[in-house]
Structure 1
Amino acid sequence: MNPLRIFSTSIFLFFGLTVFAQKSSLWKEVQPGVWKSQIGNSRHISLLQAAGGNALHDALKLLPNSHFPLSKDDIKIQIIDKKIYLRFPLNQEEQIFGLGLNFQSVNQRGRILNLHVDHYGGKDNGRTHAPVPFYVSSKGYGVLIDAAAYMTVYAGSNVRADAKHPAPIQDRNSDKNWDSQPPSDVLEVLIPADGASIYVFAGPSPMQVVQRYNLFNGGGYLPPKWGLGFTQRVPTLFSQDDIIKEAKSFEAHQFPLDFIGVEPGWHSASYPCTFEWDPGRFPRPKAFLDTLSRMGLSANLWLNPYVSPKSSLYAGIKKYTGSHLVWNGLVPDFTMAEARKLVKTHFVKNHLDIGVGGYKIDEVDGYDHWIWPDVTTFPSGTSAEQMRQIYGLMVQEMTSSWFKEKNKRTYGLIRASNAGASSLPYVIYNDYYSHKDFITALVNSSFIGVLWTPEVRASKSAEEWVRRMQSVCFSPMAMLNAWSDGTKPWSFPEVEKAVSDVANLRMQLLPYLYTTFAQYRFEGKPPFRAMNLVDGFGFKPVGMKGKVDGTDNPYGMSIKNDIKDQYMMGDFILVAPMFAGEKTRDVYLPEGKWYDFYTGKLVGENQKIQISPSLDKIPLFVKDGALIPMVPVHRQAPKDGQAFALEIRHYGQKAGTWKLYDDDGRTFNFEKGAHSWTEFGVKQAANGQLEAYPKQVAPKSNFGYLPEITWTFMTK
């Protein structure tokens, strides 16, 4: 029995198994609108503990008051043979979002997912880079299972014999509407562990559920301004001279560039890694980093965390590592303070102290034949399964803490993440390369508190190149990953201008984008948002009867119709990417009037529209009353003392207000009050005309803008 007596139990035997059947559960409100129940034994490590976030209580208090959003009597919990069986109710029309970084589906209802950190293998089966055990209901609540374990979620996929709302009885021989997957009224989870923490998040809207989840985990991360510029990852064996030459080529083409990705060749040995500079390719690493800094660039170093026998770290850390190797490298047990301390000392001395800006952390996800097996043991007693689920979180938390101690914001890349990661400075990437699926992943990332980049690596045509570049410029990290072939943004000269234009547009939108990330930090709103999180989005998924095929679909399984190829960037901009080979596409507009970003013309209201955009533009639509702050074209994020002229565009006919965020763009001084929110607005004057205010940015509120504001009314 749990000594905390969180819930009462009855005990009986069934086929020789001890069964703990829950009678009642104590749900304790641990933060405003967030309830917790501890099931069974407390385990020594969990997902949220590994992520290390701290709830933002004051921000949570600002969200609407809400009662526990589910019927407690309909939540069932059992522990059978040291495994937890959870059951949550589902209404007939309820949609389920989240449950990991999925690449092909948005509404997860009816799916079975085995949540397991892994390289994404092309199917939404739960094995993915961020198998976050958190789901958001269209009814306005969310559920998080905080357990570092592989778990199976039956998201309304199977019907119980004791169903409260039983599925209709059908006869396949006579009923044309017979369904091979009858509707279920429960979501069930199997956790192979004898303890877990369960959290329920109130809404009342799906967006407010996500806000509570992010704020509970420390709020979203606010990147440095340079992190929102453009990044180029250079070929694997580039030397410091090669990289400087690469940076100069971006200057020659007047193409944006704020940070450089340095790939494995910077190590004196990699796969496994030394984490020490190669003396041949990088004989003067500090001078190299100083040169980049003078060019306005930050360096981001690739690594995987497996220690090479050639590293000076090897001898000291060996006793704090696992029983199995990865690429013949030691796997540090980062649940142990000793291992963390040794790695920190090594990294700070060799990287942070000489000016490194961040990391790309590779191969902490899978495959099974590369990463440590589940029979691995670790000196802390942490199981290999637990370690698999938390390793990416621990490396993120550990490295980000080093930068914070130096009062320096960082921004990097990671291959594995999990619950609680919203406050960590990393964007997920992988080796998969479907453009459409990349956009679906971007949509899904907004439900689970992670960031994702639809990076560009290569293309078969100029059309595909420009369409991919457009998408990446409207994502959390605008990245060209040229590690394998040295591709440049201008590799297809016939679309160089279109590619340059969209990269420049991202830089012009930096005030809007930076404020959107500030909303993530202070309010919990994801910067890139699924349409299902938008108020007034009226699209309803339709389950279409699949065509019977004796081989591929013998039971005529239903096909769900998701909106998975459009999304919001911040409060006002709807992004509808185009894909190679497509000349037209449908766009679903939420309630209210929507306008073309480029022209200010009305395009529709609460309806489906079909568009045929030109190749040089990514389709963008803006809400009525939107205020979009912009700056002139510039190659890099502003430096200390640099100020840009501010233009604010107004779209449509409605009055409205919006607050522009600013700070120094690089330190954590904003957490101590060194930041500003400046309210801008458009109101209706006595003569009926729209009038804008203010005309200047107040000096005390200004970090990076000139005082005078140019107002542009886009809709005539």
Structure 2
Amino acid sequence: MVKRFIFNSSLFIILQLFFLFATGQTIQVAPGVQKITSGTIDQFTPYSFCGALPLTGALTQLPAAKLPFSIGEIKISVNGRGTVVQIPLDDTEQLYGFGMQIGSFNQRGLKKRPIVNDNPLNDLGYTHGPTTFYVSNKGYGVLINTARYTTFYCGNTAKLDQSAGETKATNGGNSVEELYKNDGKISGSVTVDIPGAKGIEVFVFEGPDIKTAMQRYNLFSGGGALPAIWGLGVKYRVKADFNQYQVDKMAAYFRDNHIPCDVLGLEPRWQTASYSCSYVWNKSFFPSPELFVDSMKNKGFHINLWEHAFVSPKSPLYQPLRNKAGNYLVWNGLVPDFADTAAANIFADYHRQTFVKKGISGFKMDECDNSNLAMGNATWSFPELSQFPSGIDGEQMHQLFGLLYQKTIYGIYKKLNQRTYLDVRASNAFASSYPAALYSDTYLHEEYIRMILNSGFAGMIWSPEVRESNTIKDFMRRSQTAVLSAQTLYNSWYLQNPPWLQINIEKNNKGELMGDAKQVEADIRKLLNFRMSLIPYLYNAFADYHFKGIPPFRALVMDYPQDKNTFNLSDEYMIGESILAAPLTEKMDERKVYLPEGNWYDYNTRQKYEGGKYYTIRPDLNQLPIFIKEGTILPLAKPVEYVSPDTKFEITCFVYGQAAKAALFEDDGITFNYENGAYNYLSLAWNKNKGIVKRTGNFKNSRYVIKNWEVIK
């Protein structure tokens, strides 16, 4: 009997170990966040570089949830090829995410490979901001913590069941239509293929709904970004070869014509070398850079510098980084090993002393994505076989390069207690806390709109920048979208004059302005003034992003996950809690808009609409296609031309419906002192035909002055 007991105990232990290997070890790493671990985990993963701790206090405030499946149903297997993960998927689930996907919205039934690439095309999953993270409208999110090139089969594979009986053919006839008919049922799992991985971590974020699951992801990543308040104004990038005099002249144009602008971006020619980068002022173009930056600051402009991270032999950084870079060059420049803290610190220390301490407010971090994977002649970036001193390989470095670049630059400002708003061309998972707006060299307006929605599933910020346009109508529609996005940016890097004065590139650069240039300028001024009016509302939405994890720009399915009409609605989105945006493109004089449950007001006509229905709208080119939810107080400020450290916004509260309410987040807007409680909330309410304002908090000054109330009936 004793021998039998020992044998059975050993068998039990063996079975336990097998079960652990097959399903993984599960622990709770934060409230509502579970992690499954199986096999040997890679040293370099997105979460291993997460620069912020979870906001545990905020996570505990979220409602408790129960997954629609048992955590033990997630299966992990490691084989000679790599690692495979299977996550349950029911027949009615809708899936969203995988980062900044351009070509798709609802990912159900698709194969996705979220890989960083400078030309996201053909809906393969290639994108500037890939993540191995998706969310379900059933109220949960899943993140596969890997920097390897990974493929997701989103319910479109059927695995052979050896224990099942004979399977009948699905096609019943021999006609061409019947032979090619695909009537097979989508499988009940998301299957994840991770070649080369000897193990994996899987993070599961509980709901109970899709919005709460996203909140958990963002809060677990350190909370959403809260940019400097001036970053929510207007950014304008000047022509690439402008010198100091020409930039000053452009600044004067904005102020003389009372066109709002907070940030002027300098493009490559400010450096002595750009491909690769020297990070040294070109004194023939900017003979007195420090005086120039100071003079711009005195006029209310912040200066943003274009660069990329490939270090020229002409750069002072070349020798210090020579032994802390990859073994392949890009444009004859070093690829810094940002996975190595010492290399990142060398890069950051130089930028801190040379630029940030001398007044540079931000950077545009270009070229940190990969060459176009779909083109054989796109070979400018480092190969996947690259090796780096830290031990990270080229494949993993490509996936993480933009993320680590952000972390390096953002850390400069964080240590100086100085907030910023950056631009970047690549990102990855757990980037929610970085105030860096993604952009793309692609330019289809429909895709730019879709990416506003997809940014909400990625914990990222998207900038649908405006460059040239085919027609005035195209330009104005793009400008409407830019105003209704996280960053209003005009990128005129190849235009001598602002694009609203001449949309034809050749004529623009010859100084030949359009006959109706002043009228178009007036229409642009109207749109940009609205943007400046919206800053207090937007700033509060970003505060909710930071403290609560709520994406400031998000798809309607996130707020209305049970409404089937929102499942595939990829061209309407929520801004904050109360504004629904429905942008138009050049092809449209009018468009259909779906309004979810409740009552809504057309901002332009003030007409009230019943939710749950479709309507047709025809906004003018100088109007904004937005609807306001009933029960809202919309706080709009008197427009200012730029936001200064002492700007006080004069607010008019527009009341939509009875028992309306709103909130405004108030702090200095330029430091991280809010992390120590130096902020206020203004609670706005309309009750019994009277406006009520209550200010609470520890911020000793004020940003907002409530001037007027107006009821929209």
Letter in 2 for 1:617: Q
Determine the C-alpha separation between the residues in 2 that align with 1:462 and 1:106. Answer: 29
Question: Does the 8 A contact of 2:667 with 2:703 survive in 1?
Answer: no
Shift of 1:335: 1.4
Shift of 1:701: 5.9
Match of 1:608 in 2: 614
Task: Pick closer, same or farther for the CA change 1:362–1:164 going to 2, 3 Å.
Answer: farther
Match of 2:159 in 1: 160
- Number of aligned positions between the proteins: 675
Question: Does the 8 A contact of 2:148 with 2:396 survive in 1?
Answer: yes
Determine the C-alpha separation between the residues in 2 that align with 1:673 and 1:379. Answer: 41
Question: Does the 8 A contact of 1:463 with 1:580 survive in 2?
Answer: yes
Structure 2: state its 5+ residue gaps.
1-12, 374-378, 503-516
Determine the C-alpha separation between the residues in 2 that align with 1:168 and 1:691. Answer: 70
Mapped pair 1:419 → 2:425: no
Shift of 1:138: 0.9
Determine the C-alpha separation between the residues in 1 that align with 2:14 and 2:381. Answer: 37
Match of 1:586 in 2: 592
Match of 2:395 in 1: 385
Shift of 1:697: 5.5
Mapped pair 1:447 → 2:457: yes
Letter in 1 for 2:579: I
Determine the C-alpha separation between the residues in 1 that align with 2:325 and 2:119. Answer: 26
**Range moving further from structure 2, 623-632 or 493-502:** 493-502
Letter in 2 for 1:112: K
More helix by share: 2
Match of 2:124 in 1: 125
Which SS does the other structure have where 2:310 is aligned? Answer: coil
> 1:72-93: per-residue Cα shift (whole Å, max 9, x none)?
3432110011511111111111
Match of 2:281 in 1: 277
Mapped pair 1:563 → 2:566: no
Mapped pair 1:650 → 2:674: no
Task: Pick closer, same or farther for the CA change 1:207–1:168 going to 2, 3 Å.
Answer: farther
Find 1:183's aligned residue among 183, 186, 202. 186
Mapped pair 1:316 → 2:325: no
> 1:83-111: per-residue Cα shift (whole Å, max 9, x none)?
11111111111100001211122100111
Match of 2:479 in 1: 469
Question: Does the 8 A contact of 2:45 with 2:146 survive in 1?
Answer: yes
Pairs within 5 Å for 1:354-365: 354-365=358-369
Mapped pair 1:692 → 2:670: no
Match of 1:515 in 2: 540
Determine the C-alpha separation between the residues in 2 that align with 1:256 and 1:60. Answer: 38
Pairs within 5 Å for 1:329-348: 329-348=333-352
Letter in 1 for 2:623: K
Letter in 2 for 1:253: N
Letter in 1 for 2:433: S
Task: Pick closer, same or farther for the CA change 1:277–1:299 going to 2, 3 Å.
Answer: same
Mapped pair 1:626 → 2:626: no
**Range moving further from structure 2, 463-472 or 577-586:** 577-586
Letter in 2 for 1:649: F
> 1:235-276: per-residue Cα shift (whole Å, max 9, x none)?
111112211111111112211100111111111111000111
Which SS does the other structure have where 2:671 is aligned? Answer: coil
Determine the C-alpha separation between the residues in 2 that align with 1:351 and 1:578. Answer: 40
Find 2:414's aligned residue among 404, 408, 412. 404
Determine the C-alpha separation between the residues in 2 that align with 1:461 and 1:349. Answer: 44
Question: Does the 8 A contact of 2:37 with 2:200 survive in 1?
Answer: yes
Which SS does the other structure have where 1:279 is aligned? Answer: coil
Match of 2:666 in 1: 662
Match of 1:640 in 2: 645
Match of 1:218 in 2: 222
Question: Does the 8 A contact of 1:489 with 1:496 survive in 2?
Answer: no
Shift of 1:489: 5.1
Which SS does the other structure have where 1:311 is aligned? Answer: coil
Task: With the length of structure 1 as denominator, give the TM-score of the two structures.
Answer: 0.90
Task: Pick closer, same or farther for the CA change 1:706–1:110 going to 2, 3 Å.
Answer: closer
Determine the C-alpha separation between the residues in 1 that align with 2:150 and 2:55. Answer: 28
Question: Does the 8 A contact of 1:33 with 1:68 survive in 2?
Answer: no
Letter in 1 for 2:631: G
Question: Does the 8 A contact of 2:648 with 2:702 survive in 1?
Answer: yes
Which SS does the other structure have where 1:583 is aligned? Answer: coil
What RMSD over aligned residues (CA atoms) do the two structures have, in Å? 2.3
Letter in 1 for 2:172: D
Pairs within 5 Å for 1:110-259: 110-162=109-161, 169-171=170-172, 173=174, 178-179=181-182, 182-192=185-195, 193-259=197-263
Shift of 1:711: 1.2
Letter in 2 for 1:195: G
> 1:206-251: per-residue Cα shift (whole Å, max 9, x none)?
0001000000000111011110010110111111221111111111
> 1:578-615: per-residue Cα shift (whole Å, max 9, x none)?
11131121111110011111343203321111222222
Question: Does the 8 A contact of 1:21 with 1:79 survive in 2?
Answer: no
Determine the C-alpha separation between the residues in 1 that align with 2:501 and 2:14. Answer: 61
Task: Pick closer, same or farther for the CA change 1:451–1:708 going to 2, 3 Å.
Answer: closer
Which SS does the other structure have where 1:132 is aligned? Answer: strand
Question: Does the 8 A contact of 1:149 with 1:386 survive in 2?
Answer: yes
